[in-house]
Amino acid sequence: MAINVDTVYKTVLLILNQQQRGYMTPDEFNKVATQVQLNIFEKYEDDLNQQYRMPQNDTEYANRVKNIEENLQFFQRTGATAYVGPHFTLTPTDIYRLGTVFYNSTELTQYAQRNEVTQLLLSPLTQPTTDFPIYLYENNTLFVYPTTIQTGVTISYLKTPADVVWDYTQGSLGQYIFNSGGTTQNFELNVSEQTNVITRILAYAGIIINDPTIIQTAVQETQLEEQNSKQ
């Protein structure tokens, strides 16, 4: 389940108002929320890489590798390609990071650099075949060898998180009224990240309203949470 954008915005405003620390407009919130979501999303890869190097437990809900992978599942996609000789263009427009390349549902395990491709193609012993193809990923395009392969290439990838939007209309008194339709876009993060999201937004809110107390408190909470998650 994703995080509800209206719940987060109202919680942030409630905390700010209780402490008489100022206000965040919807436009400020949307920009900050989008950045916070991207920060959290980009950190998953580093966290996952770190956890793979550490011993894991077999408990059902406390396996950290499993939990990070569960968070990433909201961004995992598969997509098609289109052959535009001599390469394949990637059909999805929201690719953040390319995952696996498939040919006729079989994974292409050999990724080559440009200089390696040249060397592999020159040697009769290492030339790719339709049974053992190779690929080069360059400038958002795929070069698959042998070049006789012109169909059947698909990909898996991580998508870029969509911009967070708290859409609204204005009431007769100029107040902001949440519009659950329109252009509203919830966070695409797992609901387990809600506290983390709110804390990080409050840190940015402290910068916007020039309140170092909010910044310090929010940053300390975030750092403590990160430390606990890695111990």
Domain that holds residue 93: 76-159
**183-221, pLDDT tens digit by residue?**
999 999 999 999 999 999 988 887 655 556 655 655 565
Same domain, 175 and 222: yes
Same domain, 48 and 103: no
Q: Exposed e or buried b for every residue in 18-38, given b needs 16+ CB within 10 A?
A: eeebeebeeeebbbbbbebbe
Last-in-domain residue among 116, 141, 159: 159
Last-in-domain residue among 159, 190, 215: 159
Q: CB burial class (10 A; 0-12, 13-18, 19+) of residue 187?
A: buried
Last-in-domain residue among 140, 159, 178: 159
pTM across the whole model: 0.80
Give the distance between the most distant pair of CA atoms in the chain.
Answer: 77
Indicate the range of 10-14, 44-48, 132-136, 217-221 predicted with least confidence.
Answer: 217-221
**126-164, pLDDT tens digit by residue?**
889 899 999 999 988 999 999 999 999 999 999 999 999
- Encoding tokens for residue 164? 């967070």
